[in-house]
Amino acid sequence: MNQISESATSVGYPTRTAPVVRGWNLLLAASVAGGCGTDDLRVRSLLEKPALEQPVDWQAVLRLAHEHGTSSLLYQNLSRFAGAIPPAVLASLRERYQRNVHKSLFLARELIRILDCLGALGIDVIPYKGVVLSEIYYGDMALRQTGDMGLFVRKRDVARIQDAARDLGYTQRVPVPQDAEEDYVASGYECSFDSPAGPGLLEIQWALQPRFYAVAFDMEGLFERAENVWVAGRQMKTPCAEDLLLVLCVHAAKHVWERLIWLCDIAQILKRESFNWEPVQLRCCWRTGYWPRRFPRRSRNRFLRTALPERSRRRSLQGWLRDSPMTCGKCHTSAS
């Protein structure tokens, strides 16, 4: 383990030296959940290239996997080629995966504790990321690196949820004076809580983004369309796939699509046979294209591997969204 550096620098795309490029291509090929034979062939071809021609910079691979949140996926896929992976690299990935398993189990237990508490108070909330996203769309809560719990809540319930979180041992990360609380909820969109187990472990959101992003998302509709799912043996609600796609795209665009795992999440959502593009188009209330413009088109296609709307084959999906006949006002009032 000590032979491999895990130190993370700023998240981004790798410097284009031959060993790092080969490592980046390996990361792309081996960060696909439920990969097919084509993925395995791609991984094998990259691993079997003569080292003198283009060696793999394994330090860079581990660093990039850590930064982009794909270490667990990388371990799952590379473990099938154990003979071609340096033992120290595989040991490092295994250790990261095991740590993520333990953290995911802890977060699942905490999430159930929070939901039970809020349910007893008659408060309806919608978990939408972390172990919920991983369990529903990856089939394994430990396959996606998880850092916190995210809940969509109704604005009217924020004060009661804050009180309940305090009773559960959580502390509001940025304390707000009581006389400013009403203004904070009216103008803000989220609230984070620290716990004895770590900072920022719980996040509640009553809007999708800050008001200055001008994203008019129908939060009450999100609650109405939510699906019942089972996670860690407990039934809970989560956004329907079409709403979750929009939520994740807006979140990733806010952070300039800087992490590969966000594209993996979208790929997993689009694999659903029942996914319906029509409501996605109808609910696009913004005029900007929340699609990964910086991410190379070839890499995008390699991950998505799904039939995008016909118009997005001729133009990028950002153009398809931008050219939607629905205006912001019409969409906001008529979207189901």
* Residue 99, CB-side half-sphere exposure with 13 Å CA sphere: 11
Q: Which CATH number fits the domain 98-239, given the four candidates 3.40.50.720, 3.40.50.970, 3.30.460.40, 3.30.70.1880? A: 3.30.460.40
At 30, is the secondary structure helix, strand, or coil? coil
pLDDT at 38 over 90: no
Structure tokens at 163: 């009180």
**Residue whose tokens read 């034979």:** 37
Q: Are 105 and 196 in contact (CB under 8 A)?
A: no
Which residue is associated with the tokens 């097919």? 36
Q: What is the mean pLDDT of residues 30-48?
A: 79
Query: What are φ and ψ of residue 236, in 5° steps?
Result: -155, 170
pLDDT at 187: 87
pLDDT at 21 over 90: no
pLDDT, position 54: 67
Q: Are strands 190-195 and 234-238 parallel, antiparallel or unpaired?
A: unpaired
Q: Where residue 126 falls among pLDDT bands split at 50, 70, 90? A: very high
Q: What is the dihedral of CA 208, 103, 232, 193, to 10 degrees?
A: -40
Closest CA to 189 of 212, 167, 168: 212
Predicted confidence band of residue 158 (pLDDT cuts 50, 70, 90): very high
Q: CA 76 → CA 30, 91, 106, 140, distances in Å? A: 8, 12, 21, 11
Mean pLDDT, range 24-28, rounded to an integer: 88
| Mean pLDDT in residue range 182-204 | 93
| Closest by CA position to 94, among listed 34, 27, 142 | 142
pLDDT band at 217 (very low <50, low <70, confident <90, very high): confident
Average confidence score pLDDT of the chain = 81
Beta partners for residue 227, in sequence order: 238
Is a pLDDT exceeding 90 seen at residue 169? yes
Other C-beta atoms lying within 10 Å of the C-beta of residue 270: 18
Assess whether pLDDT exceeds 50 at residue 332.
no
pLDDT value of position 293: 44
Stretch among 121-135, 199-213, 299-313 having the lowest mean pLDDT: 299-313
pLDDT at 327 over 80: no
Q: What pLDDT, on a 0 to 100 scale, did the predictor assign at position 214?
A: 72
Q: Is the pLDDT of residue 172 over 70?
A: yes
pLDDT value of position 124:
97
Are the beta carbons of 92 and 34 closer than 8 angstroms? Answer: no
Q: How far apart are CA 64 and CA 12, in angstroms?
A: 8
Q: What's the rounded Cα separation, in Å, for the pair 241 and 276?
A: 9
User: Which has the higher per-residue pLDDT, 97 or 18?
Assistant: 97
Phi, psi (rounded to 5 degrees) for 250: -65, -40
pLDDT at residue 255 in the model: 87
Torsion of CA 149, 154, 159, 161, to 10 degrees: -40
Domain ranges of the chain: 18-85, 98-239, 240-336
pLDDT of residue 329: 37
